[in-house]
Amino acid sequence: MRCLSHDGRRSPWLRIAPVFVVVLASVTSPALRAEPDEAALNKANAYPIGSLSTWYIEPYRVGSWSALDKVPGLQARTVARAAQASPLPRAATPAPLAYRYKGAGYALTDYLDRQRTTGLIVLKNGEIIAEHYRYGRKDDARFLSFSMAKSVTSLLIGKAASMGLIASLDDPAEKYAKDLAGSPYGATTVRQLLRMSSGLTFTERYDGKDDISRFSRAAAGAPGSDKPVDVLRSITGRHSPAGEKFVYASAETDVLGRVLAGATGKNLAVLTTEWLWQPMGAEHDAFWRISVDGQEQAYGAFNASLRDWARLGQLLANDGRAIDKATGKPGAVQVVPLDYLLDATDPARQPPAFRPRTATAYFGYGYQFWLMPFRARTFAMQGIHGQTVYVQPSTGVVMVLTSVWEHASGKQNVQPYEERDALWRGVLQSLGGDLSPQLATTNLTN
């Protein structure tokens, strides 16, 4: 689902001055002032969990988006935690964190007072530099990721391909997702779906009248709606030939979820448990929301604790290697296949049309990951309403944000997206991250 630069706006990162303000950041929640919009978010009723018809609206967002499995009538499948969690120690000396936004200097705690953040964690080389929970959330809350789930789905595709369960990423989806045989999405290759380059026109405006709204109603089994696969089969119009152009479309990730289920004979919750969550050393159970047809909503419905989102970011920063529980360092277990991970997250491995400042005005797009135009490989998992995992492997910096922003995308209100990106840039600079720009596109290899 869309985030700041999907509409082609010039990124605010290109306008933000270097960070000069240095302020100590706490690793626990500070004594807090009033939290942003706490009345509208229903603090008076202790941030209640909503129903099937209310879980998305403002008064129920905080409660529902941190415990979606408790919404009555909503179906979910558990992703089991590891028998022993991987280490996630706190830094002995918290580093000072600061950022600049629109000419003013701010501390990390200022960001929390300015934006609707439910959880924020920053790691440096696998150690917690800062960890905060807001609006009454605690460390066992499982936060809804929206489209960060797309990146999780991609990692499962990479594992299936490395095991030969998907013979080739250039196979058509219908080889594995039999219910899409004979449809345009069925004829689209797995690789084209990973890059959101089917060329099929699937609208995603978040106005209640677009294709993603129609598909979401179908997935929820709303009265009078089509079946999810029927919605997918109904998408036949084209804006481009397949494989040529990135155009964001959540339907393409849903097809990838169906490819996984068909190729492996297992559901995504089992695959996530066996291939990712337990080998990674997750501390808490996670869960997938499932559609009315029993398929996990691969495009936007994975839910996990803040620390486990951070562990996932650290796993990617370690180039897919799990933390050795004895040493606390990256070990020999390769959870995510390295070559696939680089194909998914390295701008230099993308065709020219998918590189930063070409796929969009700022971001590039890999295999369901957003790619940033820095010389150091830097990428993100992003979801609407402010969900983010940022990773810069070479400097060991990871930042995770979960949020309840009012608007879904930057097209509706760009300010929260601008300030989040300013914060990430400030965290990188504060922790020795690399902000140098990428080489010219002509210097990147095919």
Q: Is the pLDDT of residue 28 over 60?
A: no
Q: Please give the Cα distance from 146 to 293 (Å, whole number).
A: 19
Q: Is the pLDDT of residue 23 over 80?
A: no
Would you tell me how many other CB atoms lie within 10 Å of the CB of residue 4? 24
Across the range 399-415, mean pLDDT stands at: 94
Query: Model's pTM, two decimal places?
Result: 0.92
Q: What is the pLDDT of residue 438?
A: 84
Q: Is the pLDDT of residue 425 over 70?
A: yes
Q: Is the pLDDT of residue 433 over 70?
A: yes
Residue 155 lies in a domain: no
pLDDT tens for 122-137 read 999 999 999 999 999 9
Residue 198 lies in a domain: no
- pLDDT band for 206, please (50, 70, 90 cuts): confident
Across the range 267-284, mean pLDDT stands at: 98
Q: Please give the Cα distance from 340 to 354 (Å, whole number).
A: 16
Residue 58 lies in a domain: yes
List residues bridging with 144 in a β-sheet.
Answer: 303
Q: What is the pLDDT of residue 17?
A: 32
- pLDDT band for 440, please (50, 70, 90 cuts): low
Structural domain for 343, as ranges: 4-139+303-443
As a 3-state breakdown, the chain gives helix, strand, coil percent values, each rounded to 5, of 35, 20, 50
Residue 49 lies in a domain: yes
Tally of domains within the chain? 1
Q: What is the pLDDT of residue 3?
A: 38
- CATH code where residue 96 lies: 3.40.710
Residue 61 lies in a domain: yes
Q: Please give the Cα distance from 435 to 424 (Å, whole number).
A: 11
Residue 254 lies in a domain: no
Tokens of 378: 């830097």
Nearest to 116 by CA among 416, 409, 404: 404
DSSP annotation string for 303-322: EE-HHHHHHHHHHHHTTTEE
Contact 443, 381 (CB under 8 A): no
Across the range 155-163, mean pLDDT stands at: 98
Provide the terminal-to-terminal Cα distance of the chain, rounded to the nearest Å: 27
pLDDT tens for 225-248 read 999 999 999 999 999 999 999 999
Q: Please give the Cα distance from 428 to 397 (Å, whole number).
A: 7
Residue 394 lies in a domain: yes
Q: What is the pLDDT of residue 94?
A: 82
pLDDT tens for 309-344 read 999 999 999 999 999 988 889 999 999 999 999 999
- pLDDT band for 288, please (50, 70, 90 cuts): very high
Residue 338 lies in a domain: yes
Q: What is the pLDDT of residue 24?
A: 32
Secondary structure (3-state) at 230: helix
Q: Please give the Cα distance from 390 to 151 (Å, whole number).
A: 12
For the chain, what percent of residues have pLDDT higher than 90? 86
Q: Which long-range contacts (CB under 8 A, 24 or more apart) does 186-189 make?
A: 187/242, 188/242, 188/252, 188/255, 189/242, 189/243
- pLDDT band for 14, please (50, 70, 90 cuts): very low
Using a 10 angstrom Cβ sphere, with 0-12 exposed, 13-18 middle and 19 or more buried, the burial of residue 56 is middle
Q: Please give the Cα distance from 360 to 227 (Å, whole number).
A: 32
Q: Is the pLDDT of residue 1 over 70?
A: no
325-336 exposure pattern, b = at least 16 Cβ within 10 A, e = fewer: eeeeebeeebbb
